[in-house]
């Protein structure tokens, strides 16, 4: 009997990925259907619906679901869900598509990823897109006060929403492929069925997840080890989809994590995995999404530290922790978010403490601390600057320096106030 938290939504794992003869028949049918091109974000969302990572979703959202999620954090049936999962198409394509039609969905590589039965199409005006951005991406940080002055230039999530086409299509999907993720990230990429089987094999019931989109520095390592002390095990779960320019690719990050696990963790207590989404950079809302799909992977605690899933200064330092206390809690436990946050304060290396510490444990001053941040690390590496002592493990820094030395083009890394000690007590 599994001790793991049940999948989100109360319906078990809802997996839309076809196999065997059913897959062959659908591929043959898809070749004759009208084809719509999808974005990288939509491609990742499709794969997550395929493997059960987005349970209980089995397709792209209707207007009622989209509106309710943006406004109330709930699907129209009352199930908790924190961010829209929608599919856009051009006016030209929308004019050729009618309710009841079946279409094929093709990714940027030209691969047919899914078929979809259209239950609804609805227009997304510029006002609709702006409303979604304000509800989902605005946050409470310094930049939120001048949101539309800076968001179109500096917020990649807002840019993605505003670049969507003029109509959304809703309906259930049949997913035909996981793309190149299983081969490209063999040994790391994992489906919820696989992670649950592995956790069950180890006898785990209390599992914490560490979300990573940056290379693992000492603060990440400390967060994972705090969780290891209080849980059965930790799932170091990296995004292997697309990131914004200047972020470090998944292959490099995975190599760094493997190096850390080999040298600094008890392997029986930690698992590394990868998932196929693109980052949305939605801050607190994305923290909730991370917890929601981690529940499907068998995780009941989501590590939430400083500026989780943030970008720039759009979000308050710990808004991704506070939001868990503000979301609706449906009476039906199946519809409620069961994966809870493991809230951890600002962490750093303290010379006087002679080790990693947090604001809850360290009585010293900012001058005694090495402030750790993925943004700060990337900026220093991209500029060839010296990395402060105790910022990262030497073995990891060797890998990262090698990567940056091999770049022919470098993207300017903008610092955010959260990456400095300016907001630290």
CA–CA distance, 289 with 276 (Å, rounded to integer): 14
- Please state, in angstroms and rounded to a whole number, the distance separating the CA atoms of residues 34 and 41: 21
Q: Of 363, 361, 342, 394, whose CA–CA distance to 223 is shortest?
A: 342
Residues in Cβ contact with 76 at an 8 Å cutoff, skipping those fewer than 6 apart = 62, 64, 65, 68
Q: List the catalytic residue out of 214, 294, 296, 300.
A: 214
Closest CA to 420 of 379, 361, 383, 386: 379
If one counts every other C-beta atom within 10 angstroms of the C-beta of residue 14, the result is 17
Annotated catalytic residue within 213, 253, 294, 378: 213
In the prediction, which pLDDT does 389 show?
83
At 418 the pLDDT is: 52
**Long-range Cβ contacts of 66-71 (<8 Å, 24+ apart):** 66/132, 66/168, 70/131, 70/132, 70/135, 70/136, 71/135
CA distance readout (Å), 350 to 11, 378, 391 = 47, 21, 11
CATH number of 181-425: 3.40.50.620
Kindly state the average pLDDT of the residues 365-385.
81
Q: Of 47 and 247, which is predicted with more confidence?
A: 47
**Residue 301 is among the residues annotated as catalytic for this protein:** no
Task: Inform me whether the pLDDT recorded for 417 exceeds 60.
Answer: no
CA distances from 410 to 148, 382, 387, 420 (A): 27, 7, 18, 22
Do 211 and 224 meet the contact criterion of CB atoms below 8 Å apart? no
Report the run of H or E that residue 342 belongs to, with start and end.
strand 340-343
Start-end of CATH 3.10.400.10 domains in the chain:
20-124+164-175
Length of the chain: 425
Burial 328-355 (b: 16+ CB within 10 A, else e): eeeeeeebbbbbebbebbbbbbbeeeee
Better pLDDT: 300 or 392: 300
Q: Which class for 254: exposed (0-12), middle (13-18), buried (19 or more C-beta within 10 A)? A: buried
Provide the pLDDT confidence category of residue 300 given band limits of 50, 70 and 90.
very high
User: What pTM was estimated for this model as a whole?
Assistant: 0.93
pLDDT at position 410, please?
63
Q: In a 3-state reduction of DSSP, which class is residue 141?
A: coil
Name the more confident of 139 and 391. 139
Render pLDDT for 201-232 as a digit per residue (tens, 0 to 9): 999 999 999 998 877 888 899 999 999 999 99
Q: Which part of the chain is CATH 3.40.50.620?
A: 181-425
pLDDT at 411: 55
SS3 content of the chain, % helix, strand, coil (to 5): 40, 20, 45
Give the model's pLDDT for residue 185. 95
CA dist., res. 421 & res. 418, Å (int): 7
What would the mean pLDDT of 339-344 be, rounded to a whole number?
A: 96
CA 61 centroid distance within chain: 19
Q: Is the preceding omega at residue 56 within 30 degrees of 0, hence cis?
A: yes
Could you say which architecture CATH assigns to the domain 20-124+164-175? Roll (3.10)
Grade residue 247 by pLDDT with cuts at 50, 70 and 90: confident
> Has 63 been annotated as catalytic?
no
Question: Which of 163-167, 259-263, 367-371 has the weakest average pLDDT?
Answer: 367-371
């Amino acid at each position: 009997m599994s001790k793991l938290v049940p999948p989100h939504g109360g319906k078990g794992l809802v997996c839309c990925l076809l196999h065997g003869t059913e897959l062959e028949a659908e591929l043959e049918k898809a070749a004759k259907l009208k084809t719509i091109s999808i974005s990288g974000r939509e491609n990742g969302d499709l794969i997550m619906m395929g493997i059960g990572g987005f349970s209980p979703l089995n397709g792209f959202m209707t207007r009622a679901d989209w509106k309710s999620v943006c406004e109330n954090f709930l699907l129209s049936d009352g199930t908790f869900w924190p961010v829209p999962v929608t599919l856009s198409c051009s006016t030209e394509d929308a004019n050729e598509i009618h309710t009841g039609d079946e279409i094929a969905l093709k990714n940027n590589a030209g691969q047919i990823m899914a078929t979809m039965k259209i239950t609804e199409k609805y227009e997304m005006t510029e006002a609709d897109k702006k409303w979604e951005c304000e509800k989902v991406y605005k946050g409470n940080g310094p930049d939120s006060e001048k949101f539309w002055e800076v968001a179109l230039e500096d917020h990649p999530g807002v840019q993605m929403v505003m670049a969507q086409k003029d109509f959304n299509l809703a309906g259930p999907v049949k997913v035909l492929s996981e793309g190149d993720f299983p081969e490209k990230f063999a040994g790391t990429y994992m489906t919820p069925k696989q992670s649950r089987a592995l956790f069950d094999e180890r006898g785990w019931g209390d599992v914490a997840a560490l979300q990573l989109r940056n290379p693992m520095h000492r603060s990440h390592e400390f967060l994972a080890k705090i969780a290891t002390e209080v849980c059965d095990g930790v799932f170091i779960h990296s995004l292997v989809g697309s990131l914004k320019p200047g972020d470090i690719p998944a292959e490099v990050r995975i190599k760094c994590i493997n190096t850390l696990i080999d040298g600094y963790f008890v392997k029986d207590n930690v698992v590394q995995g990868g998932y196929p989404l693109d980052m949305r950079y939605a801050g607190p809302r994305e923290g909730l999404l991370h917890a929601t799909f981690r529940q499907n992977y068998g995780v009941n605690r989501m590590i939430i530290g400083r500026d989780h899933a943030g970008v720039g200064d759009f979000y308050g330092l710990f808004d991704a922790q506070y939001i868990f206390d503000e979301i609706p809690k449906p009476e039906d436990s199946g519809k409620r978010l069961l994966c809870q946050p493991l809230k951890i304060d600002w962490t750093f290396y303290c010379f006087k403490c002679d080790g990693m510490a947090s604001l809850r444990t360290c009585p010293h001053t900012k001058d005694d601390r090495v402030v750790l941040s993925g943004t700060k690390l990337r900026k220093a590496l991209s500029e060839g600057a010296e990395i402060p002592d105790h910022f990262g493990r030497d073995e990891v820094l060797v890998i990262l320096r090698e990567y940056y030395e091999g770049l022919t083009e470098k993207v300017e890394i903008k610092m955010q106030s959260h990456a400095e000690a300016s907001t630290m007590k």
